[in-house]
Structure 1
């Protein structure tokens, strides 16, 4: 299959989970013998506009001009409130989409035959729609999250309308969980088009057998976690939707009952200052370690390996790759709501928690932290579930099977 792939982030420019997804799934597609032409954002002109990865992944990264001065003329009030930096971001995304679609329609698609166009979220939706409209090639629209969900029910009408319009134009809507399918149906997305495809994890890379015990011990020490202390890990954006505020409050009870416990928080976001204040109020200021920096995959692997339990108490999470990565490394997990409850079976690989209830989060963490046998059993079951269901190879094969239904 020859696929035109519109995705906002792609290696070496990785911003979040979408980039990880695109990186892993396209590698698998190539190994399966498919050809891909990727249209993605540049990084301020620092990256090659034309590039190649492997033998059959061609990459196009247009260099854009700043159009932020005119953007306020035709967007809604919510987008205008993004400020200068936000409008510049929207300008970059808009120009990336238009330039990419023009290049695909007027040059690339005339040089070779394509079977499918795939685009991801609103960030590349415009490019996908323009490409389909001008070529007639079937379009698969991947929805990893919605503006409605990300904003807690509000958000920009411009972005919500764009998501809905793209779903109407697409031949297929692929989303990341059954929880997300229900959300899309509530938002009146065409139900007959929606298909569910979970995310995956590289089970060979995320494997404790690759980690040296002395290296893990040394890394824990570098963080400030003692050899006889327990480590709870949170990794993600420091924002209300991730439930990190409730987790920090929960740690007051956890530390009171399990004094040798540290919370390690990896991430950045608007709640960083507030979390420090909450930690002081909860009496755990000295038990919370904030890792305020970007870490590469090697260090992220070490963080998972170093922890005793991962806590991801999200209030909104379409799927969530973080619990998969922890489970692959044999770690028990405590998760909030949404798609994470499809990757984790309550009481087997970890526990579900109420992201708005610090007592519930504390109780679930304490059950794991106080019972090493239970923690080890959950870790083993987590690894087994990854190998059985969530490898990228399995996900890629199932995704291609979906694509074939509209080609």
Structure 2
């Protein structure tokens, strides 16, 4: 299984969804090897075997092989430069006896994300040659090169799991290169899983994928039998409305803020909380100030799982962003 996130390395719902799936699949008796771009430590409770692509030596032949889709060839230029390495460790860490080298794969969501996904794919090919497995399962476009490479090397079926599309993230102002990667990946896949019927419709209508190869599998909920923290207290008269999710276009945070302003005109005592982080956070802070509702509106930033639980416990209403 190829994924860009896994708890505790998460920035949104993708890692949480991957955790839930792996826990359910292992509970059914399946063995899962989860390949992350970069990983420190061990998987929670030994749930899965975790491999960091950044620690996989890639032979020269794989380094030189270009990645291609839709007639466009991408050739990664591999630099030996790395921060914080002294002379003694330099060759030891970056070069093997056969000229293999470790690739710079951080797993971050940065400007170099497409190049990272290509390097991730090269490491995936090496892993696929060395491991025995039955099915390849890849989550979202960052892992598509990896899934395709593993399929090419092994001949095993590739399942792509679509949690979000470029149209969800960017509206109509899509990044064409990411759209092309998504479309190419779904064309190459043996089967595609969409998290909703809406997502399936977009895949068919906007990407031209054969509907016969798409299944809808909704995200599930991890049951939590724990009782609310008895130490969490608030004034019963204080009403809290919660938005919790990435503060980005596809989650509609601007609608939540505009709705809050409408509610406050009728119920000025209500408190609104926007929990999470994302690219639209600064813009949303400015919007709250523009509407003059800052006294009733709070931004928490990214929260840990325990902090999320406490916030749910004190909230009276949760507005689900997606």
Worse-superposed segment, 185-194 or 265-274: 265-274
Distance 1:24 1:158 in 2: 30
**Correspondence 1:201-240 to 2 at 5 A:** 201-203=221-223, 205=224, 207=225, 210-212=227-229, 214-217=230-233, 220=234, 226-240=235-249
1:103 match: 127
Tell me which of 237, 252, 258 is aligned to 1:243: 252
1:13 match: 9
Tell me which of 194, 199, 206 is aligned to 2:219: 199
Worse-superposed segment, 139-148 or 93-102: 93-102
1:38 match: 34
Change (3 A) 1:56 1:261: closer
Alignment RMSD, CA only? 2.7
1:365 match: none
Distance 1:253 1:138 in 2: 51
Distance 2:242 2:44 in 1: 34
Distance 2:113 2:187 in 1: 26
Distance 2:27 2:110 in 1: 38
Tell me which of 42, 51, 60 is aligned to 2:51: 60
Figure out how many residues of one structure are paired with residues of the other and give that number.
275
Q: Secondary structure at the match of 2:110?
A: helix
Q: Secondary structure at the match of 1:189?
A: coil
Tell me which of 120, 126, 129 is aligned to 2:148: 129
Per-residue CA deviations over 1:22-47 (Å, capped at 9, x if unaligned) read: 1111011111111111111215xxx1
Tell me which of 302, 311, 315 is aligned to 2:310: 302
Bigger helix fraction: 1
Change (3 A) 1:274 1:143: closer
Offset of residue 300 of structure 1? 0.5
Offset of residue 299 of structure 1? 1.0
Q: Which runs of 5+ in 1 are unaligned?
A: 76-84, 221-225, 315-319, 321-407
Distance 1:52 1:241 in 2: 29
> Is residue 2:269 matched to residue 1:260?
yes
Offset of residue 283 of structure 1? 3.2
Offset of residue 54 of structure 1? 5.2
The answer to whether the 8 A contact 1:53-1:59 is kept is no
Per-residue CA deviations over 1:281-319 (Å, capped at 9, x if unaligned) read: 433220001112x2111110111121111123x5xxxxx
The answer to whether the 8 A contact 1:34-1:56 is kept is no
2:91 match: none
Offset of residue 6 of structure 1? 1.1
The answer to whether the 8 A contact 2:170-2:249 is kept is no
Distance 2:312 2:241 in 1: 10
2:105 match: none
**Correspondence 1:268-279 to 2 at 5 A:** 268-279=277-288
The answer to whether the 8 A contact 2:139-2:162 is kept is yes
Offset of residue 53 of structure 1? 5.8
**Correspondence 1:140-219 to 2 at 5 A:** 140-187=159-206, 188-203=208-223, 205=224, 207=225, 210-212=227-229, 214-217=230-233
Offset of residue 56 of structure 1? 6.9
Normalising by the residue count of structure 1, what TM-score does the alignment of the two structures yield? 0.62
Per-residue CA deviations over 1:337-379 (Å, capped at 9, x if unaligned) read: xxxxxxxxxxxxxxxxxxxxxxxxxxxxxxxxxxxxxxxxxxx
Per-residue CA deviations over 1:190-239 (Å, capped at 9, x if unaligned) read: 21100000001112x2x5x6113x4221xx5xxxxx44111000112223
2:114 match: 90
> Is residue 2:52 matched to residue 1:28?
no
Distance 1:61 1:284 in 2: 45
Normalising by the residue count of structure 2, what TM-score does the alignment of the two structures yield? 0.77
Distance 1:55 1:280 in 2: 46
